Amino acid sequence: MKKTTKPTDAPPKRAWQRMLSGRRLDLLNPSPDDIEIEDIAHGLARVARWNGQTLGRHAFSVAQHALMVEEIASGRNRDWPPRWRLAALLHDASEYVVGDLISPFKNAIGLDYKAFELRLLAAIHVRFGIPAELPQTIQSEIKTADRIAAFYEATQLAGFDEGEATIFFGQPEGLRSELMNTIQNLIPVQAEPAQQRFLARFRALRDDS
């Protein structure tokens, strides 16, 4: 009977992901050179907000959420240059790699996960000409727009009543009337249209910069 031998050294664990563009992104030390907007758009259009627990035939994607956050932030800050609007559009761009973990799970994981997410987002910013770390005033405005978007997603799609949503996300304020029709009538769309809308908005902002 032959004896089997075990390898003395285990193969190194893989810490990179191959993207459809052919790029190989190192998750522990992400390089801006390995980040492509087409990969981001493709991924975000296929990542579901709210763990997929939303109404409608299709998931409400992170790509749709990002478009809404950029629209809200830009509407509240009409004097913003394109790069801050682009930062709003890309505020959740790291989720094309890490997915959209719901906030309670992020809190359970702790700060190590957040540090990883921020490191990847910084690389994305550098890739597209945005400061790796945003000014606090800009970051605060994007966060406000993010909470406003979450409020309407929660009440229209995720089963929250307005009182509960207000507790977690605050009461939406500072919205212009032209935004209201968009954010009060949220309709989840299929991945491909969401991907193309995200790409179109990205390119429009880049062309304006």
Domain residues for the domain of 143 are 35-208
Domain count, the chain: 1
pLDDT at 105: 61
Question: Does residue 27 lie in a domain region?
Answer: no
Give dist(CA 163, CA 159) in Å, integer.
12
Could you say which residues of the chain have pLDDT below 50?
none
Question: Does residue 8 lie in a domain region?
Answer: no
> What CATH number did the domain enclosing 91 receive?
1.10.3210.10
pLDDT tens for 139-166 read 999 999 999 999 999 999 999 999 999 9
pTM of the model: 0.87
Question: Does residue 135 lie in a domain region?
Answer: yes
Give dist(CA 192, CA 203) in Å, integer.
17
Question: Does residue 114 lie in a domain region?
Answer: yes
Question: Does residue 30 lie in a domain region?
Answer: no
Q: Are the beta carbons of 42 and 199 closer than 8 angstroms?
A: no
pLDDT at 190: 97
Question: Does residue 77 lie in a domain region?
Answer: yes
Report DSSP letters for 172-205, one per residue. Answer: --S--HHHHHHHTS-----HHHHHHHHHHHHHHH
Question: DSSP alpha helices (H): ranges in the chain?
Answer: 37-44, 62-76, 82-89, 95-98, 103-109, 111-127, 136-156, 162-169, 177-183, 191-208
Question: Does residue 87 lie in a domain region?
Answer: yes
Separation of first and last alpha carbons in the chain:
71
Would the CA dihedral through 54, 76, 42, 24 be positive or negative? negative
Question: Helix 191-208 and helix 82-89: axis angle, to 10°?
Answer: 160
For residue 83, the SS3 value is helix
HSE-CB of 61 using CA atoms within 13 angstroms: 24
Q: Are the beta carbons of 113 and 99 closer than 8 angstroms?
A: no
* 203 C-beta neighbours (distance < 10 Å), count: 11
Question: Does residue 12 lie in a domain region?
Answer: no
